[in-house]
Chain A
Amino acid sequence: MTTEYTKLDTATKSLTLIQAINEGMETVLEQDPSTLILGEDVGKNGGVFRATDGLQEKFGEDRVIDTPLSESGIIGTSVGLAVNGFKPIAEIQFMGFIYPAYDQIMTHVSRIRMRTMGRYSVPMVIRAPFGAGVRAPEIHSDSAESLFTHMPGIKVVCPATPVDAKGLLIAAVNDPDPVLYMEPMHSYRAFREEVPVESYTVEIGKGKIRKEGEDVTLITWGAMVPIVEKVARQADAKGISCEVIDLRTLYPIDQEIISESVQKTGRAVIIHEAPGTGGLGNDVVSIINDTSFLYLKAPTERVTGFDVPVPFFSLEKHYLPTPERIFKSIEKVTNF
Chain B
Amino acid sequence: MIESYPLRQIIDDEGNLIDSNNRDLINRELVQKAYFNMYRIRTFDKKAKSLQRQGRIGTYPPFEGQEAAQVGSALALGENDWIFPTYRDHGAMLTYGADMTRTFLYWNGRMEGCVPPEGKHIFPAAVPIATQLLHAVGASWAEKRKGTNAIAIAYFGDGATSEGDFHEGLNFASVFQTPTIFFNQNNGYAISVPFERQTNSKTIAQKGVAYDIPSVRVDGNDFFAVYFEMQKAVKRARTGGGPSLIEAVTWRTGAHTTADDPTKYRPEGLGEDVVDPLVRLERFMKNAEYWDEAFITTTHVEVEEEVEAAVKAMEDYPAPRVEDLFDYVFAELPEQLKKQKASYLQLLGGQ
- Contact surface of A with B, Cβ cutoff 8 Å: 62, 67-68, 70, 72-73, 75-86, 100, 103-104, 107-108, 112-121, 152-153, 155, 176-177, 205, 251-253, 255
The reply on B123 being an interface residue by CB < 8 A is yes
* Additional A-B contacts beyond A68-B171, A119-B115 (7; CB < 8 A): A77-B138, A84-B143, A104-B165, A113-B330, A115-B114, A116-B114, A117-B328
Known: A114-B111, A117-B328, A119-B115. A73 touches B139 (CB 8 A): no
Residue of chain A at shortest CB distance from B154? A80
- Residues in A whose Cβ lies below 8 Å from that of B335: 205, 252, 255
- Contact indicator per residue, chain B 53-76, by CB within 8 Å of chain A (1) or not (0): 000000000000000000000000
Q: In B329-350, which residues have CB < 8 Å from any A CB?
A: 329-332, 334-337
Chain B residues near A (Cβ < 8 Å): 82, 84, 111-112, 114-116, 123-124, 126-128, 131, 133-143, 145-146, 152, 164-165, 168-169, 171-172, 175, 324, 328-332, 334-337
Residue contact B123 to A76, C-beta cutoff 8 Å: no
> Is the Cβ of B328 less than 8 Å from the Cβ of A103?
no
Whole-angstrom distance from the CB of B170 to the nearest CB of chain A?
A: 10
Inter-chain CA distance A177–B111, complex, in Å, is 19
Q: What are the nearest 9 A-B pairs in CB distance? A: A80-B138, A76-B134, A252-B334, A84-B142, A73-B168, A77-B138, A80-B139, A176-B331, A80-B135
- Which residues of A are found within 8 Å of B116, using beta-carbon distances? 119
Given A81-B138, A153-B329, A176-B331, are A72 and B165 also a contact pair (CB < 8 Å)? yes
Residue of A with least CB distance to B139: A80
Shortest CB-to-CB span from A142 to chain B, Å, is 20
A68 touches B82 (CB 8 A): no
A85/B328 in contact, CB under 8 A: no
A77→B172 contact, CB < 8 A: yes
List the A side residues contacting B137 at CB < 8 Å: 76-77, 80
CA distance A251 to B334 in the complex (A): 9
Cβ-defined partner of B135 (8 Å) among A79, A103, A251: A79
Are the C-beta atoms of A70 and B128 separated by less than 8 Å? no
Q: Decide yes or no: A107 and B131 within 8 Å by CB, A77-B141, A119-B116 being known contacts.
A: yes
Contacts of B140 in A (CB 8 A): 80
Which residue in A83, A100, A114, A152 is a CB contact (below 8 Å) of B138? A83
22 chain-A/chain-B pairs, Cβ below 8 angstroms:
A62-B145, A70-B168, A70-B172, A73-B172, A77-B137, A78-B138, A80-B139, A81-B142, A83-B123, A83-B138, A84-B139, A85-B142, A108-B135, A112-B124, A113-B330, A114-B329, A115-B114, A117-B324, A121-B331, A153-B330, A252-B334, A253-B336
The docked-state distance in angstroms from the alpha carbon of A151 to that of B333 is: 15
Asked whether A76 and B131 contact (CB < 8 A) given A117-B115, A252-B336, the answer is: yes
Q: How far is the CA of A190 from the CA of B143 in the complex (A)?
A: 42
Of B84, B133, B141, B328, the most chain A CB neighbours within 10 A belong to: B328
Q: Are B141 and A81 in contact (CB under 8 A)?
A: yes
Docked pose: A81 CA to B334 CA in angstroms: 25
- CB neighbours of A107 from chain B (8 A): 127-128, 131
B contacts with A: majority SS: helix
A132 CB, nearest partner CB in chain B, Å = 28
Given contacts A84-B82, A120-B123, contact A79 B134 (CB under 8 A): yes
Q: Which of B138, B330, B334 has the most CB atoms of chain A within a 10 A radius of its CB? A: B138
Question: Taking CB as reference atom, which chain A residue is nearest B143?
Answer: A84
Closest CB of chain B to A255's CB: distance in Å? 7
Q: Inside 8 A of B131's CB, which chain A residues have their CB?
A: 76, 103-104, 107-108
The docked-state distance in angstroms from the alpha carbon of A67 to that of B178 is 13
Give, as a whole number of angstroms, the nearest-CB distance from B337 to chain A: 8
Which of B114, B134, B169, B331 counts the most chain A CB atoms within 10 A? B134
On whether the beta carbons of B145 and A86 are closer than 8 Å, the reply is: yes
Given known A-B contacts A76-B138, A78-B138, A205 and B111 have beta carbons under 8 A apart: no
Contact at B111–A100, with CB atoms within 8 Å? no
Q: From B136, which residue of chain A is reached at the shortest CB distance? A: A80
Report yes or no: A70 in contact with B171, Cβ–Cβ below 8 A: yes
Shortest CB-to-CB span from B91 to chain A, Å, is 20
How far does the Cβ of A72 sit from chain B's closest Cβ, in whole Å? Answer: 5
> Given the complex, which residues of B lie within 8 Å of A252, measured CB to CB?
334-337
Partner of A113, one of B138, B146, B331: B331
Q: Are B111 and A73 neighbours in the complex by a CB distance under 8 Å? A: no
Closest Cβ of chain A: how far from B163's Cβ, in Å?
9
- Complex CA–CA separation, A121 to B82 (angstroms): 15
B138: A residues at CB distance < 8 A: 76-84
Name the distance in Å between A281's Cβ and chain B's nearest Cβ: 17
Q: How far is the CA of A82 from the CA of B138 in the complex (A)?
A: 8
Q: Is the CB of B172 within 8 A of A67?
A: yes
Is B124 a contact partner of A116 (Cβ separation < 8 A)?
yes
Tell me, in angstroms, the Cα distance from A117 to B113 when the chains sit together: 10
Given contacts A76-B169, A113-B328, contact A100 B164 (CB under 8 A): yes
**Across-interface contacts of B152 in A (CB, < 8 A):** 80
Residue of B nearest to A118 (CB): B328
User: Nearest Cβ in chain B — how far from A74, in angstroms?
Assistant: 9
Shortest CB distance A86–B (Å): 5
What's the nearest-Cβ distance from chain B to residue A115, in Å? 5
| A65 nearest CB neighbor, chain B only | B176
A117 pairs with B175, CB closer than 8 A: no
